[in-house]
């Protein structure tokens, strides 16, 4: 069966700085001996872990998953995985866009917990409207990725959401 490249990406609220990539490719190609990962940001630069000297991250072929600790805030990325041969030539590749939203989703959930603890918060129009704006920005980022793989629009929405969460004393 021919090799069909594929991968997934995930992020967890407890460790929002870490992206987990999982190779879900099917089939085989005996020429493939290694993988590279490129994390392209909306500003056109590549995101790599501290100390990395290349634009890409090596992903050992024997490991079905890799944890990459690179995020400091919610980020939209176009992720490319390349499957390489022994001469480091690309055999095949796949690119998928993702919106990583765990930082703001965690903050949003904290607002929900605050509402449960103090139901009077929803009486404040500003508090409730700002919470709704935060939700709209997170959802806008996800929709930009899902609908159009648009990391630029997704990052703009995530930046607006992050402004709210990092300046919460002005809004809540």
Give pLDDT tens digits for 26-48: 999 999 999 999 999 999 999 99
Report pTM: 0.94
Closest among 136, 135, 124 to 172, alpha carbons compared: 124
CB atoms within 10 A of CB 140: 18
Q: What pLDDT is stored for residue 1 in this prediction?
A: 86
Pick out the chain residues at pLDDT < 50: none
Domain boundary among 100, 123, 154: 100
Q: What pLDDT is stored for residue 158 in this prediction?
A: 98
Q: What pLDDT is stored for residue 122 in this prediction?
A: 76
Domain containing 58: what range?
7-100
* Residues 154, 79 within the same domain: no
* Residues 92, 119 within the same domain: no
Q: What pLDDT is stored for residue 20 in this prediction?
A: 98
* Residues 22, 86 within the same domain: yes
CA 133/CA 108 separation, integer angstroms: 11
Considering the domain boundaries, does residue 2 fall inside one? no
CA 92/CA 5 separation, integer angstroms: 7
């Amino acid at each position: 069966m021919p090799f069909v490249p594929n991968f997934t990406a995930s992020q967890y609220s407890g460790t929002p700085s870490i992206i987990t990539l999982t190779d879900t490719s099917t089939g085989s190609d005996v020429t493939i001996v290694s993988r590279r990962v490129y994390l392209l940001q909306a500003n056109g630069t590549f995101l790599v872990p501290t100390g990395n000297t290349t634009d890409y991250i090596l992903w050992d072929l024997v490991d079905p998953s890799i944890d990459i600790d690179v995020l400091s805030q919610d980020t939209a990325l176009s992720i490319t995985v390349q499957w390489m041969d022994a001469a480091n030539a690309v055999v095949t590749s796949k690119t998928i866009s993702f919106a990583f939203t765990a930082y703001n989703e965690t903050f949003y959930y904290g607002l929900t917990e605050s509402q449960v603890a103090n139901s009077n918060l929803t009486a404040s129009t500003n508090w409730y409207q700002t919470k709704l704006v935060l939700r709209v920005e997170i959802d806008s980022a996800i929709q930009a990725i899902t609908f159009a793989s648009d990391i630029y629009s997704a990052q703009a929405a995530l930046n607006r959401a992050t402004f709210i969460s990092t300046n919460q004393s002005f809004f809540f």
